[in-house]
Amino acid sequence: MKLITYEVHERIGTITLNRPDKRNALSPSLVMELDQAFDLAERDENVKVIILQANGETFCAGADLAYLQELQQFSYEQNLEDSMRLKSLYEKIFRLKKIVIAQIQGHALAGGCGLATVCDIVFSVSEAKFGYTEVKIGFIPALVMVFLVRKIGEQRARFMLLSGELISAEAAQQYGLVHQLCPTNDLKSVVRAFAAKIARQASAQSLELTKSLLAQIQSRSLEDGLALAASANAHARATDDCKKGIAAFLSKQELTW
């Protein structure tokens, strides 16, 4: 991989966007390498939690400008194929069996904001800006819309997607797009400590089942959602992790997963 790095340390897999000279813009090659890296992290038995971060001053500036120029010559079929690759990446991160934490050290714009949106938990520096600027260049924020409405609700999603305005990290936290703000110098250590805490205190089986249920339940009616939840509950009770966890709880033993 040339445009990202992948490292594993103490059950934490770190995927780093490494195209700082281009503000980590999403070229086809970068999208492909990210897709491969998340596949690798999901299969890696030494990884329990994943951190998505970036080198440079910008987390991700969205689509690569040079590639946007190339797209002008594409047929509908070529554009659809290209769009499906980004759709596949977003969906993969959203449905991944393992927890994905976004570590936002700089602006997350357009498709880059989409990357943050599909992560499970987002930490950001206060200086970062977030936004979907597609309408300002005659494009549409189509793919991310599906995830953003789920995450922050239709009213706030409408403002962000239709205005194309950038919002502060503080506003993004108020919206529910960002979960915690950190001083720049503390961001890495805070995220690492949080990831290590999840790896130590949470069952991998429970995390996987909870993420799977979260991905399915919002599209269901109340009745269907509750039926699905009851079934998942019954399934979870039969897992080895649940039996181990309840036994430790009842005997008042500290359990490290």
Q: What is the pLDDT of residues 163-218, one digit of tens each?
A: 999 999 999 999 999 999 999 999 999 999 999 999 999 999 999 999 999 989 98
Residue 66: the pLDDT is: 82
Catalytic residue (choose from 33, 42, 134, 165): 134
Q: What values do phi and psi take at 54, rounded to 5?
A: -150, 150
CA-CA-CA-CA torsion for 18, 20, 23, 27, nearest 10 degrees? -40
Residue 133, phi-psi category: left (phi > 0), alpha (psi -120 to 50), beta (remainder) = alpha
Q: Which of 127, 208, 234 minimizes the C-alpha distance to 170?
A: 127
pLDDT at position 77 is 94
> Whole-angstrom Cα distance, residue 114 to residue 144?
5
134 a catalytic residue: yes
Mean of pLDDT over the chain: 94
**Residue 167 has what pLDDT?**
98
pLDDT of residue 248: 84
Q: Is pLDDT of 229 > 90?
A: yes
pLDDT bin (cut points 50, 70, 90) of residue 136 is: very high
Q: Residue for token digits 């659809």?
A: 80
Beta strands in the chain (DSSP E): 4-9, 12-17, 49-54, 99-104, 108-109, 121-125, 129-131, 167-168, 180-182
pLDDT, tens digit, 9 for 90 and up, residues 105-135 = 999 999 999 999 999 999 999 999 999 999 9
